[in-house]
A and B are shown apart, each in its own frame.
Chain A
Amino acid sequence: MTRALILLRRRLVGSIFVLLIVVIGSFLLLEAAPGDAVDAYIVSTGGDAGMIELLRHRWGLDQSELTRLANYLWALLHLDLGQSVTFSRPIREIILERLPTTLILMGSATALSFGLGSALGIYAGARPGSFRDRLLSIGSLALYAVPGFWLGLVLIVVFAVDLRWLPIGGIETIASGKTGLARAADIATHLVLPVSALGFIYLALYLRMMRAGMAEAWRQDFVLAARARGLPRRRIVLAHVARNALLPLVTMLGLQSAQMLGGSVVIESVFAVPGLGRLAQEAVAGRDTLLLLGIILVSAVLVIGINLLVDLAYAFLDPRVGASEAGV
Chain B
Amino acid sequence: MSELISRRGLLAGSALLLASTALPAIGRAQTPKKGGRLIVAADSEPRNLNPAIVASNGVFFISSKVVETLAEASFDGKDGLQPRLALSWEGAADGLSVTFKLRDGVKWHDGKPFSSADVAFSALQIWKPLQNLGRTVFKDLVAVDTPDELTAVFKFAKPTPFQLIRNALPALTSVVPKHVYENGKIEENPANNAPVGTGPFKFAEYKAGQYYRLARNDDYWGKEEPYLDEIIYQVLPDRTSAAAALEAEEIQLAAFSAVPLADLDRISKVPGLKVVTKGYEGLTYQLVVEINHRRKELADLKVRQAIAHAIDKDFVVKTIFLGYAATATGPVPKNDPQFYTAEVPTYAFDVAKANALLDEAGYKRADDGRRFALKLLPAPYFNETKQFGDYLRQALAAIGIDAQIVNNDSAAHIKAVYTDHAFDLAVGPPVFRGDPAISTTILVQSGIPDGVPFSNQGGYKNADLDALIAKASETLDTATRTGLYKEFQKKVAADLPLINVAEWSFISVARDTVGNIANNPRWAVSNWADTYLES
A residues adjacent to B (C-beta < 8 A)? 33-37, 39-52, 58, 85-88, 94, 97-98, 153, 156-157, 160-161, 164, 167-171, 174-175, 269-275, 278-279, 284-287
Contact = CB atoms under 8 A, between A and B. Distances in A.
B451 A49 contact: yes
Contacts, number: 147
Interface stretch (B271-279, B413-421, B521-529): B413-421
A47 B207 CA distance: 28
B46 interface: yes
A46 B171 CA distance: 14
Contacts of A271: 241
A157 B244 contact: yes
Interface string B201-212: 000010111110
16 contacts: A39-B410, A40-B410, A41-B47, A46-B454, A48-B135, A85-B47, A86-B47, A160-B244, A169-B236, A169-B245, A174-B232, A175-B230, A175-B232, A270-B238, A272-B238, A278-B209
A300 B414 CA distance: 32
Contact of B414 (A43, A168, A270, A273): A43
A51 B232 contact: no
A161 B410 contact: no
Nearest to A37: B411
Given A35-B412, A285-B411, A156 B244 contact: yes
Given A168-B241, A285-B409, A46 B453 contact: yes
Given A43-B381, A47-B132, A274-B208, A35 B415 contact: yes
A49 B135 CA distance: 10
Contact of B411 (A43, A45, A156, A275): A43
Interface residues of B, number: 59
B90 interface: no
A171 B210 contact: yes
A272 B241 contact: yes
A174 B210 contact: yes
B419 A39 contact: yes
A85 B47 CA distance: 9
B244 A44 contact: no
Contact of B452 (A47, A97, A274, A285): A47
B415 A48 contact: no
B160 interface: no
B48 to A, nearest CB: 7
A133 to B, nearest CB: 37
Contacts of A37: 411
Most-contacted residue by chain A among B241, B416, B450 (CB, 10 A): B241
A97 B208 contact: yes
Nearest to B58: A44
Interface in B51-76: 54-56, 58
A164 B237 CA distance: 21
Contacts of A44: 44, 46, 54, 56, 58
A47 B135 contact: yes
A168 B244 contact: yes
A285 B46 CA distance: 13
Contact of A33 (B244, B248, B412): B412
